[in-house]
Amino acid sequence: MSFSGGRNGASAAHGRSSLKAIDSRNSTFHKPAHSSSPSSSSSSASSSFKSKTLHGSSSRKIATKDGGGVPGRVRVAVRLRPRNAEEMEADADFAECVELQPELKRLKLRKNNWDTDTYEFDEVLTEFASQKRVYEVVAKPVVESILEGYNGTIMAYGQTGTGKTYTLGRLGGEDPAARGIMVRAMEEILAEVSWETDSVCVSYLQLYMETIQDLLDPSNDNISIVEDPKTGDVSLPGATLVEIREQNNFIELLRLGEAHRFAANTKLNTESSRSHAILMVQVTRSMNERSFPYITENGGNSFLSKNIKPPIVRKGKLVVVDLAGSERIDKSGSEGHALEEAKSINLSLSALGKCINALAENSAHVPVRDSKLTRLLKDSFGGTARTSLVVTIGPSPRHRGETMSTIMFGQRAMKVENMLKLKEEFDYKSLSRRLEVQLHKLVEDNERQQKAFEEEIERVQVEAENRISETERKFTDALEKERLKCQKNYMESIKKLEEELLVSQGKNGSAVMAVSPKESLSKREASSITSSEEISNLKKSLEKETLLKRSADEDVTNLRKQLSQSRLLESSATSEILRLRQLLENESRQKEKLEGEITTLQSQLLQLSFDADETRRRLDGGGSAYVPEGLESATLQVRHSEHNEPEDGEKASVAKLSEQVGLHKILSLLEADDADVRIHAVKVVANLAAEEANQEKIVEAGGLMSLLNLLRNLEDETVHRVAAGAIANLAMNEVNQELIMAQGGIRLLSTTAANAEDPQTLRMIAGAIANLCGNDKLQMKLRAEGGIKALLGMVRCGHPDVLAQVARGIANFAKCESRASAQGMKSGRSLLIDDGALPWIVQNASTEASAIRRHIELALCHLAQHDVNARDMINCGALLELVRVSRDCTREDIRLLARRTLSSCPAFRTELRRLRIDY
């Protein structure tokens, strides 16, 4: 591809120079990162900025979970300002110094009357380009990315008067078509976000002479940049942050900012063209509804799904930068500034140029830290943001030099490759809130059900008892009645029979005595006739009696039947009661199960709070959850900073939970069969152990023993890490230190350390041993059981946090030794030297990591206190380190201690004289 044969009829010489320009551009396109980028193709003349950049669903798909990112080159557009009235007049006779070929995305810069250079950009915007089109090709893809949760930067670079502020900052009050990028971007953001779940906050700042001023609060005129040491993210916590809900408020804010900028510049005797204006828009969007499948309803019972996922928030930050004019200012101070000031004015802009050069050339060192602007834009160039740059130029041939340098800046910026990363976080707080609500609901439902069942059982029982006693009463009445009736009948019949018998006997006797035989015979005949009548009468009444008795028997049988029926009834009522009892038992089993679930929920909630704690601490750059900082740690505790109220709230909920569930129960879970439960339990115990108030209770309840057993019996590294952290915290207390030693803690910790891979596990173990090192009474035992060797063994991992704990342990040990020597309780060489600690001490004495160095310096001073160590210290170079400490240590007390030690030890004095070193 050759551009040399331009329509200017270029000479061979000019052809070469044109090719050079194109080549440099071409090399931009052939960088490997570009070819892998979906946005690298620029062949289609009609494709816009937008269509070439990565946005929409594809970016979400690629750049999520793995924490990686997608390549996204800095996109650069060039915009030409129309001639103004003055130029119309003054340059009327001259051709413009640039010629644009927007359809080819090319710009030709006239070198002189016969020679031009050609440059290619991502977009070429002519003097006729509307503000709407400029927004669409330069800003819209960036704004869309912000809404998806990426960071983004839109920046204008160019000579004063070429239209940077026109492009970015026009409010368009008088003419809506004139609205600039800031106004249009906010319109698009506000149209897209939802007020229930999302928020939009704005800061507006000015950077002038390496000072950041708050344009929303002029009294706030020296804002500092804060950098997260872990993630490297920069922020301006001191800047005013205003939540925006309506476009009008935003316009008002921009107006206010502009007014303050004008006032500030008047006061500083400068113009806005010398300062950088920076607008920051933080868009936070909650992904809640899309990712919260944690509870399923199942016939009135809730079951936890195994994988609770907290809701997710995405935080995209848009930075819009209206840079100071790129023209060189006269360093002699023609604007009334001294030379130093003039340098300072230019510092940020020239540092930006240097960084972009370094990035474009893939240089190993990018001097980001040279200026505030480059620190602020760390993420925009070579970082994780999507960045669009618009370089503005004027048409006048009088400013050809400046135009040229602006174009070259743009060309270099096109080579900068960023790695776009989704800014996504878990929203633990809202998950915790929702779980808590769910938990309360479960508890209440359960209570209501329980109460209703108890009432039902009572009702059925009373009813059955009433029925039984009623039946019994009826039965007894009927029986009694029947018995009386039978008795009466019977008595009556007997009476009758007796009477009849008497009557018949009386008749027979008198007849025998008073009549003659004949009479007697005839009488006898007659009487025998009456007797036989009576007999038949008697027979009749006997039959009647028999009948009566039979009917009475039947009645009795009937009553018996009734009795057995009511017995049956009674037994069915009893079985009903039994059934209900069964139901009640089932219910209470169900209740127990629910309570179990609640405990699980609580422990998972706790786990989440714990994770959230850790995450937050990591984000805040705070150190350990378990191992305290500082040398005199035997009395130190990890404390949360006071402003961190939600954490206190979570701590309180852990404490409350431990009250509810009971410490013994939690400790018993340490031996649970289920690995998940064990991990949760040990995390809970670790969290409790971080609070001094709980430590005694934990030890009393046998927690220390259980934690040591975990190290002894399990091989899970997470368990080891958390258990060691808990032990480290318990090891802050002198009584516990003795207990740990007595239970073989040193050997256990050493073995665990020898097998551990994770630096955090090693950090916890080193922290625990370091605490034990500070106990005067345990020195000999600790050393005998290999404590010092274990500490030195851990330096193999090289992690600074681990090294800091090792150094702290050594310093603690050395301090105890020097105390014992001073009290005449110890003679002979330091055990640290015996165990070979000295070479490591010397090797790390001048490390850059202050957390390590501080301890080592102190250890050196303590070792040097005792003359018997002097020879070894001289032999392995520790003396020279001590001299350095006496000169350079930032802590005055240590410096003085080192100096005193040097002058009080005769062996050191002699050696220093020999080496001709003054101290």
The Cα 205–Cα 239 span in angstroms is 8
Tell me which stretch binds Mg ion (CB under 5 A): 8-16, 161-169, 332-340, 624-632: 161-169
* Stretch of 163-171, 333-341, 411-419, 495-503 lying at the interface with Mg ion (CB under 5 A): 163-171
| DSSP 8-state symbol, 795 | G
Select the residue interacting with ligand ADP from 25, 52, 73, 81 (CB under 6 A): 81
Residues in contact with ligand ADP, counted by CB under 6 A, come to a total of 13
The SS3 assignment for 37 reads coil
Q: Which is nearer to Mg ion, 164 or 862 (CB)?
A: 164
- List CB contacts of 16: < 8 A, sequence separation 6 or more: 4
Compute the distance between CA of residue 257 and CA of residue 183 in angstroms, rounded to an integer: 14
Q: Is 165 in the site for ligand ADP (CB under 6 A)?
A: yes
| Residue 775 is a binding residue for ligand ADP (CB under 6 A) | no
The whole-angstrom distance between residue 482's C-alpha and the CA centroid of its chain comes to: 86
Per partner kind, with CB cut-offs from 5 to 8 A, the member of Mg ion, ligand ADP, none near residue 162 is ligand ADP
**Whether the Cβ atoms of residue 206 and residue 277 lie closer than 8 Å to each other:** yes
Residue (302 or 388) nearer to Mg ion, CB:
388
Q: Does 158 bind ligand ADP (CB under 6 A)?
A: yes
Please state, in angstroms and rounded to a whole number, the distance separating the CA atoms of residues 326 and 76: 16
Joined together, the tokens standing for residue 470 give: 């009623």
Residue 323 CB contacts under 8 Å (≥ 6 apart), including other chains: 155, 156, 157, 158, 164, 276, 349, 352
81 binds, among Mg ion, ligand ADP, none (CB under 5 to 8 A by kind): ligand ADP
Do 416 and 302 contact (CB within 8 A), yes or no? no
Among 145, 160, 411, 865, binds ligand ADP (CB under 6 A): 160
Q: Which stretch binds Mg ion (CB under 5 A): 160-168, 572-580, 606-614, 772-780?
A: 160-168
**Cβ closest to Mg ion, residue 324 vs residue 852:** 324
For Mg ion, the closer of residues 59 and 167 by Cβ is 167
CB of 200 closer than 8 Å to CB of 281:
yes
Q: CB of residue 163 vs ligand ADP: minimum separation in angstroms?
A: 3
Which helix or strand (DSSP H or E) is residue 111 part of?
Answer: strand 106-112
- Does 729 contact ligand ADP by CB under 6 A? no
- Which residue number, 277 or 864, has a Cβ lying nearer to ligand ADP? 277
Which residues lie below 8 Å from residue 591, measured CB to CB, with a gap of 6+?
A: 446, 449, 450
Partner from ligand ADP, Mg ion, none contacting 163, C-beta within 5 to 8 A by type: ligand ADP
CB of 272 to ligand ADP, least distance (A): 8
Q: Which helix (H) or strand (E) segment is 321 a member of?
A: strand 312-322
Piece of 5-13, 153-161, 283-291, 732-740 that binds ligand ADP (CB under 6 A): 153-161
**Residues 394 and 159 sit within 8 Å (Cβ to Cβ):** yes
The reply to whether 164 sits near ligand ADP by the rule CB under 6 A is yes
Helix (H, G, I), strand (E, B), or coil: what is residue 905? coil
Region binding Mg ion by CB under 5 A among candidate stretches 162-170, 299-307, 535-543, 669-677: 162-170
Compute the least distance from the CB of residue 48 to ligand ADP, in Å: 18
Binding mask 485-524 for ligand ADP (x = CB under 6 A): ----------------------------------------
Q: Which of residues 260-279 bind ligand ADP (CB under 6 A)?
A: 273
Using alpha carbons, list the distances in angstroms from residue 328 to 275, 389, 391, 395.
14, 20, 16, 18
Establish if 166 lies at the interface with ligand ADP (CB under 6 A). Answer: yes
Q: Could you say which residues in the range 370-399 bind ligand ADP, by CB under 6 A?
A: 392
Contact set for ligand ADP, span 82-101 (CB under 6 A) = 82
Smallest distance, ligand ADP to C-beta of residue 376, A: 19
Task: Please tell me the distance from the alpha carbon of residue 159 to that of residue 175, in angstroms, as a whole number.
Answer: 25
Tell me the C-alpha distance between 714 and 294, whole Å.
30
Min separation Cβ 50 and ligand ADP, Å: 20
Task: Give the separation between CA 754 and CA 774, rounded to whole angstroms.
Answer: 22
In the bound state with Mg ion, the residue whose beta carbon lies nearer, of 165 and 411, is 165
Residue 806 CB neighbour total at 10 angstroms = 30
Among residues 71, 72, 163, 353, the one that binds ligand ADP under rule CB under 6 A: 163
Nearest distance in Å: CB 131, Mg ion:
15
At its nearest, how many Å lie between ligand ADP and the CB of residue 118? Answer: 23
720: which residues sit within 8 A by CB, 6+ positions away? 710, 711, 714, 752, 756, 761
Helix, coil or strand: residue 370: helix
DSSP per residue over 821-860, as a string? HHTT---SS-HHHHTT-HHHHHHHTT-S-HHHHHHHHHHH
How far, CA to CA in Å, does 79 sit from each of 281, 407, 417, 665?
Answer: 24, 10, 22, 71
Least distance (Å) between residue 441 CB and Mg ion: 58
Decide which of ligand ADP, Mg ion, none touches 392; Cβ closer than 5 to 8 Å per partner kind. ligand ADP
**Between 166 and 453, whose beta carbon lies closer to ligand ADP?**
166
In the complex, residue closest to ligand ADP by CB = 163
Q: Collect all residues with Cβ–Cβ distance below 8 Å to 884 and sequence separation of at least 6.
A: 845, 846
Distances (CA, A) of 566 to 240, 481, 712: 87, 18, 69
Among 145, 159, 165, 736, binds Mg ion (CB under 5 A): 165
Q: Which is nearer to ligand ADP, 326 or 844 (CB)?
A: 326
Residues 171-200 that bind ligand ADP (CB under 6 A): none
Please enumerate in sequence order all residues whose Cβ is within 8 A of that of 730, keeping only pairs 6 or more positions apart, or say none: 689, 695, 698, 699, 703, 704, 707, 736, 740
Q: Answer whether 833's CB lies under 8 Å from 864's CB.
A: no
The residue among 151 and 273 lying less far from ligand ADP, judged by its C-beta, is 273
* Distance (Å, whole) CA 723 – CA 670: 10
Query: Which is nearer to ligand ADP, 181 or 711 (by Cβ)?
Result: 181
Residue 410 as a binder of ligand ADP (CB under 6 A): the answer is no
Q: Is 750 in the site for Mg ion (CB under 5 A)?
A: no
CA of 534: how far to CAs of 125, 493, 531, 541, 635, in Å? 150, 16, 5, 10, 124
Query: Which residue number, 311 or 325, has a Cβ lying nearer to ligand ADP?
Result: 325
How far is the C-alpha of 581 from the C-alpha of 584, rounded, in Å? Answer: 5
x-marked contacts with ligand ADP along 322-361 as a string, rule CB under 6 A? ---x------------------------------------
Using CB under 6 A as the binding rule, whether residue 161 contacts ligand ADP is answered as: yes
In the complex, least distance from residue 100 CB atom to ligand ADP, rounded to whole angstroms = 13
Q: Which residue is associated with the tokens 């937008």? A: 50
Q: E strands along 706-751, which residues? A: none
Residue 348 contacts which entry, ligand ADP, Mg ion, none (Cβ below 5-8 A, type-dependent): none
CB of 154 to Mg ion, least distance (A): 15
Residue 252, token pair as written in the block: 């008002």
Query: 3-state class of 281 per DSSP?
Result: strand
> Rounded to the nearest whole angstrom, what is the least distance from the CB of residue 325 to ligand ADP in the complex?
6
Q: Where are the beta strands (DSSP E) in 394-489?
A: 417-420, 424-426
Residue 117 pairs in a beta bridge with 109
- Based on CB atoms, which residue is closest to ligand ADP, 162 or 886? 162
Among 53, 162, 206, 380, binds ligand ADP (CB under 6 A): 162
When the beta carbons of 177 and 693 are compared against ligand ADP, the nearer one is 177
* Residue 158 partner contact from Mg ion, ligand ADP, none using kind-dependent CB cut-offs of 5 to 8 Å: ligand ADP
Residue 276 or 826: which CB sits closer to ligand ADP? 276
Q: Which residues bind Mg ion (CB under 5 A)?
A: 164-165
Q: Which residues bind ligand ADP (CB under 6 A)?
A: 81-82, 158, 160-166, 273, 325, 392
